[in-house]
Amino acid sequence: MSNPDFDAWLQTPRGQYLLAWEQRKIDTAVADLFGFNAVQIGLSGFDLLRNNRMSFRFCCGTRAGAGSVRFDGTDLPFASQSVDLVLLPHVLEFADNPHQLLREVERVLVPEGSVVITGFNPYSLWGLRRSFSGNLGQMPWQGQYLSVSRLKDWLKLLGFEARPSMFGCHAPPVSSDAWLHRWGFMDTAGGRWWPIAGGAYLLPAVKRVQGMRLIMPRWRESMRSKKAMVPVAQKIDHRVDHHADRLHTRQ
C-alpha cells in the first residue's frame, strides 16, 4: 500500500523531521530481528528496513517495481506463516479497514514473528493540528489517527504481545526548517517530561502461539557434563598411577 500524496509530504520539512526520527527508531527496532523474509508495506520509495539483516527484504505497495510486490486492498499476497517481519509505516491510519489489515499481518507471520508499526499520535500537538483540519484536510491530517492503547487492544485480540512503544517528534508541526529548529528543545524536554505526547510513535509486537514452546539446544547442560567428566578422569588416572608405583616398589 502506497500513498503518493504521503510520499510527497515526506519530502517537506515536516516530513523530513518525522522521517528522520522514525528511521532511527526503526533501525534500532529491526536490527536484532532474525529470520528469512521481511516485508515493508507501503512507502516503497524509502528503504526503512535497511538495518535489518534478513536475507530477503522487499516492499509491498500499490506500485510494483524493483524489489517490491504489488498489493491492492487488504489481502496480503503471501502464504500463511511465510514472513518473519512486517513493517507498517503509517499504513493503518490511511487504510480503509485497518483491523482487517492487521488480521492479514497475523496470518502471514510465522509464530514468534514480529510486526513494527509507526503512526501519528492523536494525543499530541500533531493530533491537535489534525483536529483543526478535519478528515478533509491536506496530507497528513486526513488520516484516521489510531492511539497506541487502541492498537494494543487490537493486537492482543489477534494474539500479539505488544512490546514497549516509543514516542518522538514533540515539536509542533510547523512548516519551516527554521521553526522546527527553534522548537527542537521540545524533543529533549518532551522525551523526559511528557514522552507519550510525541507526534509520532513506534509500536513493536510479537505473534504468540498458545501452547507453542521453542526447543533450544542444551548448551549449558552439555558443558556441565563435559566439565564433570574431566576431574573424574584425572582422579582415576591418579589412582592408577599410584597403584602402579606401589607395585613397582614391592617388586
Mean pLDDT, each 10-residue run in order, the chain (251 residues): 80 96 97 96 92 93 60 81 97 93 96 98 93 75 93 97 96 90 86 87 95 55 56 48 49 48
pLDDT the model gives residue 134: 64
pLDDT the model gives residue 195: 84
Give residues with Cβ within 8 angstroms of 54, minimum separation 6: 33, 34, 35, 36, 37, 38, 84, 85
pLDDT the model gives residue 194: 82
Among 161, 186, 183, 185, CA closest to 174: 183
pLDDT the model gives residue 233: 46
Calculate the alpha carbon distances from 84 to 44, 110, 114, 225 in Å.
Answer: 19, 6, 6, 35
pLDDT the model gives residue 228: 57
pLDDT the model gives residue 207: 98
pLDDT the model gives residue 227: 56
Say how far apart CA 175 and CA 12 lie, in whole Å. Answer: 8
Strands 68-70 and 37-41: unpaired
pLDDT the model gives residue 241: 52
Task: Give the CA angle between residues 44, 50, 52 to the nearest 5°.
Answer: 120
Listed in sequence order, the DSSP H helices in the chain are: 4-9, 13-30, 98-108, 125-133, 148-157, 177-182, 185-193, 219-250
pLDDT the model gives residue 80: 96
In one-letter notation, the amino acid at residue 167 is F
Contact of 119 with 171, CB cutoff 8 Å: no
pLDDT the model gives residue 63: 60
Which residues are 202's β-sheet partners? 118, 166
Task: Give the CA angle between residues 143, 148, 149 to the nearest 5°.
Answer: 120
Cell of 192: 523526559
pLDDT the model gives residue 114: 98
